[in-house]
Amino acid sequence: MLDPARTVELIKGALFDSEATWRSYLPEAGDWKKTAVLLTGPMIVAAALIAYLLGLLFSGLSAFGFRPTLFSTVLSMVAGGIAAAVVAFIFSAFAKVFGGKSSFALALAATTLAFVPGYVGRALSGLPWIGWLLGIGLTIYGLVLLWRIIPLYLEVPAEKLAPHYAVSLIASFVAMIALSVLIGSGMRGGDMDPRFGGTQPGTTGAAGGLFGGIARQGELIGMAEDDRYDPPRDGELTEAQVEEFIRVMQRTREAVAERQARIEELAEQADNGEQVSFSDLGTMMSGITEVAGLNTAEIEIVKSAGGNWAEHQWVRESLRTAWLQKDINDAVAHNYALYQEYEDQLAEFIAQ
Protein backbone atom coordinates (compact mmCIF):
# COMPACT_ATOMS: atom_id res chain seq x y z
CA MET A 1 0.00 0.00 0.00
CA LEU A 2 1.00 3.62 -0.44
CA ASP A 3 3.24 5.04 2.27
CA PRO A 4 4.35 8.57 1.27
CA ALA A 5 6.64 8.95 4.28
CA ARG A 6 8.46 5.71 3.45
CA THR A 7 8.68 6.69 -0.22
CA VAL A 8 10.29 10.03 0.64
CA GLU A 9 12.65 8.27 3.05
CA LEU A 10 13.79 5.84 0.33
CA ILE A 11 14.25 8.61 -2.23
CA LYS A 12 16.37 10.68 0.17
CA GLY A 13 18.38 7.62 1.14
CA ALA A 14 18.95 6.59 -2.49
CA LEU A 15 20.26 10.09 -3.25
CA PHE A 16 22.41 10.78 -0.20
CA ASP A 17 23.19 7.44 1.45
CA SER A 18 22.69 4.97 -1.35
CA GLU A 19 24.48 1.83 -0.16
CA ALA A 20 22.98 1.86 3.33
CA THR A 21 19.53 2.40 1.80
CA TRP A 22 20.00 -0.48 -0.64
CA ARG A 23 20.99 -2.84 2.16
CA SER A 24 18.12 -1.78 4.40
CA TYR A 25 15.56 -2.30 1.63
CA LEU A 26 16.94 -5.63 0.40
CA PRO A 27 14.84 -7.79 2.81
CA GLU A 28 11.70 -6.13 1.40
CA ALA A 29 12.76 -6.27 -2.25
CA GLY A 30 11.41 -9.77 -2.93
CA ASP A 31 7.88 -8.41 -3.50
CA TRP A 32 7.78 -6.60 -6.83
CA LYS A 33 4.27 -5.25 -6.19
CA LYS A 34 5.47 -3.55 -3.03
CA THR A 35 8.36 -1.92 -4.88
CA ALA A 36 6.05 -0.83 -7.70
CA VAL A 37 3.55 0.80 -5.33
CA LEU A 38 6.05 2.17 -2.83
CA LEU A 39 8.75 3.51 -5.14
CA THR A 40 8.65 2.82 -8.89
CA GLY A 41 5.12 4.09 -9.53
CA PRO A 42 5.35 7.21 -7.34
CA MET A 43 8.73 8.13 -8.86
CA ILE A 44 7.42 7.80 -12.42
CA VAL A 45 4.28 9.82 -11.69
CA ALA A 46 6.01 12.51 -9.62
CA ALA A 47 8.82 12.99 -12.15
CA ALA A 48 6.36 13.36 -15.03
CA LEU A 49 4.08 15.77 -13.13
CA ILE A 50 6.92 17.99 -11.89
CA ALA A 51 8.42 18.08 -15.40
CA TYR A 52 4.98 19.03 -16.74
CA LEU A 53 4.50 21.87 -14.24
CA LEU A 54 8.01 23.24 -14.75
CA GLY A 55 7.51 22.97 -18.48
CA LEU A 56 4.35 25.08 -18.26
CA LEU A 57 6.00 27.66 -16.02
CA PHE A 58 9.14 28.06 -18.10
CA SER A 59 8.01 27.12 -21.60
CA GLY A 60 8.57 30.69 -22.80
CA LEU A 61 12.15 30.60 -21.57
CA SER A 62 13.01 27.17 -22.94
CA ALA A 63 15.77 27.10 -25.50
CA PHE A 64 13.71 24.58 -27.49
CA GLY A 65 10.34 26.30 -27.15
CA PHE A 66 8.71 23.07 -25.92
CA ARG A 67 5.38 23.26 -24.07
CA PRO A 68 4.23 19.96 -22.53
CA THR A 69 0.64 18.73 -22.68
CA LEU A 70 -1.37 16.59 -20.31
CA PHE A 71 -1.63 13.90 -22.98
CA SER A 72 2.14 13.73 -23.47
CA THR A 73 2.60 13.66 -19.68
CA VAL A 74 0.19 10.75 -19.20
CA LEU A 75 1.80 8.95 -22.13
CA SER A 76 5.23 9.43 -20.56
CA MET A 77 3.93 7.88 -17.32
CA VAL A 78 2.64 4.82 -19.18
CA ALA A 79 5.86 4.52 -21.15
CA GLY A 80 7.89 4.95 -17.96
CA GLY A 81 6.06 2.10 -16.26
CA ILE A 82 6.51 -0.23 -19.22
CA ALA A 83 10.16 0.75 -19.55
CA ALA A 84 10.83 0.09 -15.86
CA ALA A 85 9.33 -3.41 -16.17
CA VAL A 86 11.21 -4.21 -19.40
CA VAL A 87 14.57 -3.06 -18.05
CA ALA A 88 14.07 -5.05 -14.83
CA PHE A 89 13.17 -8.14 -16.86
CA ILE A 90 16.27 -7.79 -19.05
CA PHE A 91 18.68 -7.32 -16.15
CA SER A 92 17.09 -10.27 -14.33
CA ALA A 93 17.22 -12.57 -17.37
CA PHE A 94 20.86 -11.82 -18.12
CA ALA A 95 21.81 -12.17 -14.45
CA LYS A 96 21.00 -15.88 -14.76
CA VAL A 97 23.09 -16.16 -17.94
CA PHE A 98 26.10 -14.65 -16.16
CA GLY A 99 25.90 -16.73 -13.00
CA GLY A 100 23.76 -14.42 -10.86
CA LYS A 101 20.24 -14.60 -9.45
CA SER A 102 17.30 -14.34 -11.84
CA SER A 103 14.60 -12.40 -9.98
CA PHE A 104 12.28 -9.83 -11.54
CA ALA A 105 11.37 -8.47 -8.11
CA LEU A 106 14.99 -7.90 -7.09
CA ALA A 107 15.84 -6.46 -10.50
CA LEU A 108 12.93 -4.00 -10.30
CA ALA A 109 14.04 -2.89 -6.85
CA ALA A 110 17.67 -2.56 -7.96
CA THR A 111 16.96 -0.60 -11.13
CA THR A 112 14.44 1.67 -9.41
CA LEU A 113 16.74 2.50 -6.50
CA ALA A 114 19.70 3.06 -8.83
CA PHE A 115 17.69 5.30 -11.15
CA VAL A 116 16.31 7.59 -8.45
CA PRO A 117 18.79 10.31 -9.60
CA GLY A 118 17.57 9.76 -13.16
CA TYR A 119 13.95 10.30 -12.09
CA VAL A 120 15.02 13.51 -10.35
CA GLY A 121 16.73 14.57 -13.58
CA ARG A 122 13.52 13.81 -15.47
CA ALA A 123 11.56 15.98 -13.03
CA LEU A 124 13.99 18.89 -13.47
CA SER A 125 14.08 18.59 -17.26
CA GLY A 126 11.47 21.37 -17.52
CA LEU A 127 13.87 23.97 -16.13
CA PRO A 128 15.09 26.43 -18.79
CA TRP A 129 18.61 26.09 -20.17
CA ILE A 130 20.04 23.76 -17.53
CA GLY A 131 17.22 21.22 -17.25
CA TRP A 132 18.49 18.96 -20.01
CA LEU A 133 22.04 19.11 -18.62
CA LEU A 134 20.82 18.12 -15.17
CA GLY A 135 18.84 15.29 -16.73
CA ILE A 136 21.87 13.92 -18.57
CA GLY A 137 24.18 14.26 -15.58
CA LEU A 138 21.81 12.60 -13.13
CA THR A 139 21.03 9.79 -15.59
CA ILE A 140 24.74 9.06 -15.91
CA TYR A 141 25.02 9.03 -12.12
CA GLY A 142 22.12 6.56 -12.03
CA LEU A 143 24.00 4.26 -14.40
CA VAL A 144 27.01 4.39 -12.08
CA LEU A 145 24.80 3.42 -9.14
CA LEU A 146 23.27 0.60 -11.17
CA TRP A 147 26.75 -0.86 -11.71
CA ARG A 148 27.25 -0.85 -7.93
CA ILE A 149 23.87 -2.29 -6.91
CA ILE A 150 23.76 -5.25 -9.33
CA PRO A 151 26.22 -7.45 -7.36
CA LEU A 152 24.28 -6.78 -4.17
CA TYR A 153 20.77 -7.50 -5.47
CA LEU A 154 21.31 -9.94 -8.36
CA GLU A 155 24.57 -11.47 -7.08
CA VAL A 156 26.34 -11.35 -10.45
CA PRO A 157 29.95 -12.50 -9.86
CA ALA A 158 32.56 -9.75 -10.02
CA GLU A 159 34.37 -11.34 -12.97
CA LYS A 160 31.14 -11.38 -15.00
CA LEU A 161 29.74 -8.02 -13.91
CA ALA A 162 31.12 -6.05 -16.87
CA PRO A 163 29.68 -8.29 -19.63
CA HIS A 164 26.37 -8.62 -17.78
CA TYR A 165 26.10 -4.86 -17.41
CA ALA A 166 27.10 -4.11 -21.02
CA VAL A 167 24.81 -6.70 -22.61
CA SER A 168 21.87 -5.73 -20.38
CA LEU A 169 22.27 -2.04 -21.21
CA ILE A 170 22.51 -2.72 -24.95
CA ALA A 171 19.47 -4.99 -24.81
CA SER A 172 17.58 -2.31 -22.86
CA PHE A 173 18.52 0.29 -25.46
CA VAL A 174 17.21 -1.89 -28.30
CA ALA A 175 14.05 -2.66 -26.31
CA MET A 176 13.43 1.07 -25.78
CA ILE A 177 13.65 1.62 -29.54
CA ALA A 178 11.04 -1.11 -30.07
CA LEU A 179 8.90 0.36 -27.27
CA SER A 180 8.97 3.84 -28.81
CA VAL A 181 7.85 2.38 -32.14
CA LEU A 182 5.01 0.45 -30.50
CA ILE A 183 3.83 3.54 -28.59
CA GLY A 184 3.98 5.57 -31.78
CA SER A 185 1.85 2.90 -33.44
CA GLY A 186 -0.72 3.11 -30.66
CA MET A 187 -0.96 6.88 -31.03
CA ARG A 188 -1.72 6.40 -34.74
CA GLY A 189 -4.53 3.94 -33.99
CA GLY A 190 -2.55 0.74 -34.53
CA ASP A 191 -0.92 1.46 -37.91
CA MET A 192 2.78 0.95 -37.61
CA ASP A 193 5.23 3.29 -39.23
CA PRO A 194 5.86 1.59 -42.60
CA ARG A 195 9.58 1.74 -42.00
CA PHE A 196 9.12 -0.74 -39.15
CA GLY A 197 7.21 -3.53 -40.81
CA GLY A 198 3.56 -2.72 -40.06
CA THR A 199 1.21 -4.64 -37.81
CA GLN A 200 0.89 -7.63 -40.08
CA PRO A 201 0.86 -11.17 -38.62
CA GLY A 202 4.32 -12.10 -37.48
CA THR A 203 5.13 -8.86 -35.67
CA THR A 204 5.03 -10.74 -32.37
CA GLY A 205 7.26 -13.43 -33.77
CA ALA A 206 9.64 -10.80 -35.09
CA ALA A 207 9.82 -9.16 -31.69
CA GLY A 208 10.47 -12.60 -30.21
CA GLY A 209 13.23 -13.05 -32.74
CA LEU A 210 14.72 -9.74 -31.66
CA PHE A 211 14.80 -10.69 -27.99
CA GLY A 212 15.92 -14.21 -28.87
CA GLY A 213 18.87 -12.61 -30.63
CA ILE A 214 19.58 -10.45 -27.60
CA ALA A 215 19.50 -13.52 -25.35
CA ARG A 216 21.85 -15.31 -27.76
CA GLN A 217 24.37 -12.48 -27.38
CA GLY A 218 24.31 -12.88 -23.62
CA GLU A 219 24.58 -16.68 -23.79
CA LEU A 220 27.63 -16.45 -26.04
CA ILE A 221 29.45 -14.11 -23.69
CA GLY A 222 28.45 -16.25 -20.71
CA MET A 223 29.81 -19.41 -22.38
CA ALA A 224 33.06 -17.65 -23.28
CA GLU A 225 33.48 -16.42 -19.70
CA ASP A 226 33.10 -20.00 -18.43
CA ASP A 227 35.91 -21.41 -20.61
CA ARG A 228 39.21 -22.34 -18.93
CA TYR A 229 42.52 -23.31 -20.52
CA ASP A 230 45.82 -24.45 -19.01
CA PRO A 231 48.65 -23.49 -21.41
CA PRO A 232 51.47 -26.01 -21.97
CA ARG A 233 54.37 -25.67 -19.55
CA ASP A 234 56.80 -24.83 -22.32
CA GLY A 235 54.55 -22.00 -23.55
CA GLU A 236 54.93 -23.08 -27.17
CA LEU A 237 52.20 -22.81 -29.77
CA THR A 238 51.44 -25.60 -32.23
CA GLU A 239 50.88 -25.20 -35.94
CA ALA A 240 47.34 -26.49 -35.49
CA GLN A 241 46.57 -23.75 -32.96
CA VAL A 242 47.94 -21.04 -35.25
CA GLU A 243 46.04 -22.35 -38.27
CA GLU A 244 42.79 -22.53 -36.28
CA PHE A 245 43.35 -18.99 -35.01
CA ILE A 246 43.79 -17.77 -38.60
CA ARG A 247 40.63 -19.59 -39.70
CA VAL A 248 38.58 -18.07 -36.89
CA MET A 249 39.87 -14.55 -37.48
CA GLN A 250 39.33 -14.70 -41.24
CA ARG A 251 35.80 -16.02 -40.82
CA THR A 252 35.11 -13.36 -38.16
CA ARG A 253 36.26 -10.64 -40.54
CA GLU A 254 33.89 -11.99 -43.20
CA ALA A 255 30.97 -12.29 -40.76
CA VAL A 256 31.43 -8.76 -39.41
CA ALA A 257 31.69 -7.37 -42.95
CA GLU A 258 28.46 -9.18 -43.90
CA ARG A 259 26.75 -7.83 -40.79
CA GLN A 260 27.91 -4.28 -41.43
CA ALA A 261 26.71 -4.50 -45.04
CA ARG A 262 23.30 -5.65 -43.80
CA ILE A 263 23.11 -2.78 -41.29
CA GLU A 264 23.98 -0.28 -44.04
CA GLU A 265 21.26 -1.84 -46.21
CA LEU A 266 18.71 -1.52 -43.39
CA ALA A 267 19.70 2.10 -42.77
CA GLU A 268 19.28 2.86 -46.47
CA GLN A 269 15.86 1.18 -46.48
CA ALA A 270 14.74 3.27 -43.51
CA ASP A 271 16.02 6.46 -45.14
CA ASN A 272 14.03 5.61 -48.27
CA GLY A 273 10.85 4.93 -46.30
CA GLU A 274 10.93 1.18 -46.95
CA GLN A 275 9.88 -1.48 -44.45
CA VAL A 276 12.28 -2.50 -41.70
CA SER A 277 10.88 -5.28 -39.49
CA PHE A 278 11.46 -5.84 -35.78
CA SER A 279 13.52 -8.91 -36.61
CA ASP A 280 15.93 -6.61 -38.44
CA LEU A 281 16.60 -4.89 -35.11
CA GLY A 282 18.24 -8.17 -34.07
CA THR A 283 20.80 -7.64 -36.83
CA MET A 284 21.37 -4.10 -35.57
CA MET A 285 21.79 -5.48 -32.05
CA SER A 286 24.59 -7.74 -33.28
CA GLY A 287 26.27 -4.79 -34.94
CA ILE A 288 26.01 -2.70 -31.78
CA THR A 289 27.71 -5.42 -29.72
CA GLU A 290 30.64 -5.46 -32.14
CA VAL A 291 30.95 -1.68 -31.88
CA ALA A 292 30.88 -2.02 -28.09
CA GLY A 293 33.86 -4.36 -28.31
CA LEU A 294 32.06 -7.48 -27.09
CA ASN A 295 33.39 -9.61 -30.02
CA THR A 296 30.32 -11.82 -30.16
CA ALA A 297 30.90 -12.78 -33.80
CA GLU A 298 34.39 -14.04 -32.95
CA ILE A 299 33.09 -15.84 -29.86
CA GLU A 300 30.31 -17.52 -31.84
CA ILE A 301 32.69 -18.77 -34.50
CA VAL A 302 34.98 -20.26 -31.84
CA LYS A 303 32.19 -21.84 -29.79
CA SER A 304 30.10 -23.13 -32.72
CA ALA A 305 33.13 -25.15 -33.87
CA GLY A 306 33.53 -26.66 -30.39
CA GLY A 307 36.48 -24.42 -29.58
CA ASN A 308 37.70 -22.99 -26.30
CA TRP A 309 37.55 -19.19 -26.01
CA ALA A 310 40.22 -19.10 -23.30
CA GLU A 311 42.60 -21.08 -25.52
CA HIS A 312 41.81 -18.79 -28.44
CA GLN A 313 42.70 -15.77 -26.31
CA TRP A 314 45.93 -17.43 -25.16
CA VAL A 315 46.97 -18.09 -28.76
CA ARG A 316 46.30 -14.45 -29.63
CA GLU A 317 48.35 -13.13 -26.71
CA SER A 318 51.21 -15.58 -27.38
CA LEU A 319 51.41 -14.48 -31.01
CA ARG A 320 51.25 -10.84 -29.99
CA THR A 321 54.06 -11.31 -27.49
CA ALA A 322 56.15 -13.17 -30.07
CA TRP A 323 55.64 -10.36 -32.60
CA LEU A 324 56.70 -7.76 -30.03
CA GLN A 325 59.59 -9.59 -28.31
CA LYS A 326 60.83 -12.03 -30.99
CA ASP A 327 63.43 -14.00 -29.02
CA ILE A 328 63.52 -13.11 -25.31
CA ASN A 329 63.29 -16.82 -24.42
CA ASP A 330 62.94 -20.21 -26.11
CA ALA A 331 59.12 -20.21 -26.08
CA VAL A 332 58.89 -16.74 -27.61
CA ALA A 333 61.53 -17.63 -30.22
CA HIS A 334 59.56 -20.77 -31.16
CA ASN A 335 56.30 -18.83 -31.39
CA TYR A 336 57.94 -16.06 -33.40
CA ALA A 337 59.20 -18.62 -35.91
CA LEU A 338 55.59 -19.80 -36.30
CA TYR A 339 54.45 -16.21 -36.66
CA GLN A 340 56.97 -15.62 -39.44
CA GLU A 341 55.81 -18.78 -41.21
CA TYR A 342 52.22 -17.47 -41.30
CA GLU A 343 52.97 -13.74 -41.27
CA ASP A 344 51.04 -12.92 -44.44
CA GLN A 345 47.85 -14.23 -42.82
CA LEU A 346 48.54 -13.15 -39.24
CA ALA A 347 49.80 -9.59 -39.65
CA GLU A 348 46.37 -7.93 -39.96
CA PHE A 349 45.16 -9.61 -36.77
CA ILE A 350 48.28 -9.36 -34.60
CA ALA A 351 50.52 -6.51 -35.77
CA GLN A 352 48.08 -3.68 -35.03
The residue out of 121, 137, 156 marking a domain boundary is: 156
Most confidently predicted of 95-99, 112-116, 127-131, 301-305: 112-116
Long-range contacts of 290-296 (CB under 8 A, 24+ apart): 290/256, 290/259, 292/166, 292/170, 294/163, 294/166, 294/167, 294/217, 294/221, 296/217, 296/220, 296/221
Identify whether residues 199 and 328 lie together within a single domain: yes
- The number of domains in the chain is 2
Identify whether residues 19 and 125 lie together within a single domain: yes
pLDDT in tens, 188-231: 444 444 434 443 333 344 444 445 555 566 666 667 778 899 99
Q: Out of 104-118, 123-137, 197-211, 245-259, pick the least confident.
A: 197-211
> What is the structure's pLDDT at 76?
80
The residue out of 122, 156, 190 marking a domain boundary is: 156
Domain that includes residue 118, residue range: 4-156
Identify whether residues 124 and 179 lie together within a single domain: no
Q: In 10 A of CB 271, how many CB atoms?
A: 9
Average confidence (pLDDT) over 37-60: 84
Identify whether residues 132 and 233 lie together within a single domain: no
Identify whether residues 85 and 134 lie together within a single domain: yes
Is the model more confident about 207 or about 93?
93
Cα–Cα distance, 316 to 241 (Å, whole number): 10
Average confidence (pLDDT) over 319-341: 93
Identify whether residues 178 and 321 lie together within a single domain: yes
pLDDT in tens, 140-173: 899 899 999 999 999 999 888 888 888 888 888 8
The residue out of 156, 190, 207 marking a domain boundary is: 156
Residue 94's pLDDT band, with cuts at 50, 70 and 90, is confident
Sign of the alpha-carbon dihedral angle for 180, 184, 185, 186: positive
